[in-house]
């Protein structure tokens, strides 16, 4: 009997040791566990997680954009499945031409309006803006590419899909960043800066970002002495300024107002690029396009959460595009 009692006690001790080890192992694992980041899709006018959205959408996050693997918007979305980015044209999505025609030429020759729209912070850009402003990425929070019709939420020019760009909003903590990039292809220089912080603690904040691109392309256009161009077909010069003012008054809980002002001007051939060549190392540029575009946009957005079930969003904007 004593021998049996000893065995039972030993078994109990072993079980206790196993349970204790499991508890310590579980506590140790909890220290190293990190919750997965929730990606929120906002291009459908209603914020949903990527898991809960019913649309076919790909999201490019800020972490991916910071790697500098993509230098332009076209580069960033070119690897997304079912998306084809042609030279000098809005993207084609699932076989639907982004420019509303059979080729990218329609974007400049008076063809149909776009079938893939581009929106920046909810404001629809002109249908050639994807081409004329495709020379740099800076201070962007995420890029959403919707595959399939988005006409219900973003208008009839989104029958093929939409590209939604979300730039970063003001913060109530001071932050700033700067970037200086140099590319040894004809001294291409990218200088960018951003600063954000509070004006009134926890109530009023601002954000200002600026980007300048200055350099030459590698297009090597053919210049005819009998008909010389009026502009330098190699040069690219881009200036972008975006300022935001965020107001969250303490007197009105769950209410916010966001005022945004942005201006962009770009000169050069940053869009359409076509070449002919007998071999890859002796290419010649054909159909060069010199773009001189300017845009100025002012928008204001109001958000008010009435309760957990109802909220009101209002967005109004005015744009001057040349």
Our count of domains for the chain comes to 2
Whether residue 319 lies inside any domain: the answer is: yes
For position 138, what pLDDT does the model report?
Answer: 92
* Banded pLDDT at 194 (limits 50, 70, 90): very high
* CA 289 vs CA 70, 159, 219, 229, 230: distances in Å: 23, 28, 11, 11, 12
Q: Which of 150, 167, 184 is the last residue of a domain?
A: 167
The band of 19, judged by pLDDT with boundaries at 50, 70 and 90, is: very low
Both 175 and 322 in a single domain?
yes
Both 156 and 198 in a single domain? no
14 or 23: which carries more pLDDT confidence?
Answer: 23
The three-state secondary structure class of 182 is strand
131 shares a domain with 101? yes
Q: Residue 268 pLDDT > 50, yes or no?
A: yes
φ, ψ for residue 132, nearest 5 deg = -75, -20
Q: Who wins on pLDDT, 192 or 275?
A: 192
Look at residue 12 and tell me if it is in a domain: no
| Any domain includes 4 | no
Q: Which of 53-57, 121-125, 142-146, 258-262 has the lowest mean pLDDT?
A: 53-57
Mark whether 217 and 107 lie in a shared domain.
no
Same domain, 147 and 220: no
Q: Using the 3D structure, point to which of 167, 190, 221 is the last residue of a domain.
A: 167
Of the residues 106, 140, 167, which one is the last residue of a structural domain? 167
pLDDT in tens, 59-116: 999 988 888 788 788 889 988 999 998 777 788 898 887 776 544 444 444 445 778 8
Indicate which CATH number applies to the domain containing 161: 2.170.130.10
3-state helix, strand, coil in the chain (%, to 5): 15, 40, 40
| pLDDT confidence of residue 36 | 57
Whether 181 and 218 map to the same domain: the answer is yes
- pLDDT per residue as tens digits for the range 118-176: 899 999 888 776 666 677 789 999 999 999 888 888 888 888 899 999 999 999 999 99
Is 276 within the bounds of a domain?
yes
State how beta strands 175-183 and 188-200 pair.
Answer: antiparallel
User: What one-character DSSP code corresponds to residue 309?
Assistant: S
pLDDT of 233 reads: 76
182 or 33: which carries more pLDDT confidence? 182
| % of the chain at pLDDT higher than 90 | 36
Q: Reduced to 3 states, what is the DSSP secondary structure of residue 52? A: coil
Is 185 in the same domain as 319? yes
Considering the domain architecture, whether residues 38 and 72 belong to the same structural domain is answered as yes
pLDDT of residue 293: 87
Q: Does residue 9 lie in a domain region? A: no
Span 192-211, average pLDDT = 97
Domain-embedded: residue 17 = no
pLDDT of residue 59: 93
Range of the domain at 224: 169-322
In a domain, 13, yes or no: no
Q: Are residues 136 and 251 in the same domain?
A: no
Task: Categorize the per-residue pLDDT at 185 as very low, low, confident or very high, splitting at 50, 70 and 90.
Answer: low
Strand ranges for the chain from DSSP E: 40-41, 48-49, 56-61, 83-84, 92-93, 116-120, 123-124, 140-147, 161-167, 175-183, 188-200, 204-216, 235-247, 255-268, 274-276, 284-286, 291-305, 311-321
pLDDT digits (tens, 9 = 90+) for 231-251: 777 788 899 999 999 999 999
Give domain status of residue 192, yes or no.
yes
My answer on whether 178 and 232 are in the same domain is yes
- Neighbouring C-alpha atoms within 13 Å toward the C-beta of 232: 10
Distance CA 180, CA 213 (A): 10
Q: Could you tell me if 173 and 322 lie in one domain?
A: yes
**What is the reported pLDDT for 270?**
66
Residue 253 is given by DSSP the state: T
Q: Are residues 71 and 144 in the same domain?
A: yes
């Amino acid at each position: 009997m004593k021998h049996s009692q000893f065995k039972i006690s030993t078994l109990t001790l072993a079980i206790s040791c196993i349970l204790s080890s499991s508890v310590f192992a579980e506590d140790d694992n909890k220290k190293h566990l990190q919750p997965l980041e929730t990606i929120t899709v906002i291009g459908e006018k209603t914020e949903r997680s990527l898991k809960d959205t019913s649309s076919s959408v790909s999201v490019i996050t800020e972490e991916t954009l910071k790697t500098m693997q993509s230098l332009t918007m076209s580069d960033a979305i070119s690897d997304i499945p079912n998306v084809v980015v042609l030279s000098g044209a809005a993207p084609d999505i699932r076989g639907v031409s982004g420019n509303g025609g059979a080729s990218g030429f329609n974007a400049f020759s008076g063809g149909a309006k776009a079938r893939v729209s581009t929106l920046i912070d909810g404001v629809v850009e002109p249908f050639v803006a994807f081409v004329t402003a495709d020379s740099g990425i800076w201070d962007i929070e995420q890029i959403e590419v919707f595959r399939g019709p988005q006409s219900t939420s973003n208008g009839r020019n989104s029958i093929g899909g939409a590209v939604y760009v979300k730039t970063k909003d003001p913060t109530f903590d001071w932050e700033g960043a700067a970037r200086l990039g140099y590319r040894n292809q004809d001294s291409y220089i990218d200088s960018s800066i951003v600063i954000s912080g509070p004006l009134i603690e926890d109530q009023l904040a601002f954000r200002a970002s600026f980007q300048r691109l200055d350099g030459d392309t590698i297009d090597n256009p053919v210049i005819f002495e009998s008909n010389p161009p009026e502009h330098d077909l190699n040069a690219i010069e881009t200036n972008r300024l975006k300022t935001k003012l965020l107001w969250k008054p303490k007197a009105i809980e769950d209410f916010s107002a966001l005022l945004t002002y942005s201006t962009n001007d770009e000169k050069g051939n940053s869009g359409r690029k076509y070449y002919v060549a007998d071999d890859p190392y002796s290419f010649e540029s054909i159909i060069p396009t010199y773009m001189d575009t300017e845009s100025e946009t002012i928008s204001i957005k109001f958000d008010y959460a009435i309760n957990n079930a109802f909220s009101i969003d209002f967005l109004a904007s005015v744009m001057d595009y040349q």
